[in-house]
Amino acid sequence: MASKNIMDFDTVALDDAKGALVIIDQTKLPNELKILELTELKDIWEAIYLLRVRGAPAIGVAAAIGIYLAARQISAGDNDFDTFYSKFTEAKDYLASSRPTAVNLFWALGRMDNVVKANSDKSVEKIVEKLRDEAVEIREEDIRVCRSIGEYGLTLIQDGCGILTHCNAGQLATVKYGTALAPIHLGRERGYNFRVFADETRPLLQGARLTAYELQSNGIDTTVICDNMASQVMKNGWIDAIFVGCDRVAANGDACNKIGTSGLAILAKYYGIPFYVCAPTSTIDMTMKRGEDIEIEERPSHEVTEMWYKQRMAPEGVGVYNPAFDFADNELITAIITEYGIARPPYSASLKEIFAQKELTRHVGD
């Protein structure tokens, strides 16, 4: 299995016959490609919390499949709708507690909840069927969305460009293609040759462990740098564009992403390098007015002091601040790339236009 290209595997999938959520265990990469088949809700919750599955879109898909599997198990009992919905809500709230920042988690669970409420007049068995259909659609939609983001992003760069990215917003963060890495993967399909610099992304090293692994597997020229080397790489003139993903975008365009993104945006502004945020509309939260309104997850201190070391690398008892995310102020962002087009400042207006385009497209599809 490990000899295959990582691009040959879906990051998140449903095995309906086994009643399992199938994921790549990303805590084992790059040294081991391990596939997990999760059937119990507590194991799915743990997989999200422990970042076995991570990346906002992938978390959303995993949550949708997870709540469908929970509903399937709940329906095995002799339940009327009220009893079923009570247990379904309990399972949904439990999954929602796994991580607080990525809006896709709540977006996907909300969509699944809407399916139940819209079909309350039907049998529990029929509701579960519709939940399966919705979970599969959320997964397939993620693939379409990421490819579209890749197409729009590819219009902003040329063959031979040097690109800097942070964390992992590639296929491993979605079902396929990724968000920030989608233009790179699509370009690769078309014979483009990009030079990619991947921030290692302390403290969990998603750039070094995941992005570098994914890009190298796909034959893309990739160089890992420590996070504090980004300024020098930009100063050297090696970077033509910066592409990052996001976990939540506020209505004003402030983009919340893995910790360190804000610093990159500030550096990009100084060096005059375009800074692009790749954001599926599912990650744009128009109920959040600004970045300061977004809850920032704080992770355990051992991720900083012990996780990657044979011996503890900080004195016992020292204070540790370990926020998982920060946000790039909208004034630092050149453009936000969505599946419905590219939004540019002022984002308070252009993001509304993106959602208007989304609504128009939905009606045309109907």
Parallel, antiparallel, or unpaired: how do β-strands 221-225 and 284-285 relate?
Answer: unpaired
- Whether this prediction's pTM lies above 0.75 is answered by yes
For 237-293, write each residue's pLDDT tens digit.
Answer: 999 999 999 999 999 999 999 999 999 999 999 999 999 999 999 999 999 999 999
In the chain, CATH 1.20.120.420 sits at 6-146
Q: Is the pLDDT of residue 24 over 50?
A: yes
User: 6 and 25 in contact (C-beta within 8 Å)?
Assistant: no
CATH of the domain spanning 158-365? 3.40.50.10470
Q: Could you count the other beta carbons within 10 Å of the beta carbon of residue 37? A: 13
Q: Output the pLDDT for position 2.
A: 43
Residue 79: band (very low, low, confident or very high) from pLDDT cuts 50, 70, 90: confident
Could you give the CA distance from residue 51 to residue 45 in angstroms, rounded to a whole number?
A: 10
The set of residues, in sequence order, having a beta carbon less than 8 Å from that of 103 and lying 6+ positions away, is 56, 247, 248, 282, 283, 285
For 87-133, write each residue's pLDDT tens digit.
Answer: 999 999 999 999 987 788 999 999 999 999 999 999 999 999 999 99
In the chain, CATH 3.40.50.10470 sits at 158-365
| Catalytic machinery residues | 247
The CATH homologous superfamily for domain 6-146 is translation initiation factor eif-2b, domain 1 (1.20.120.420)
Q: Is the pLDDT of residue 1 over 60?
A: no
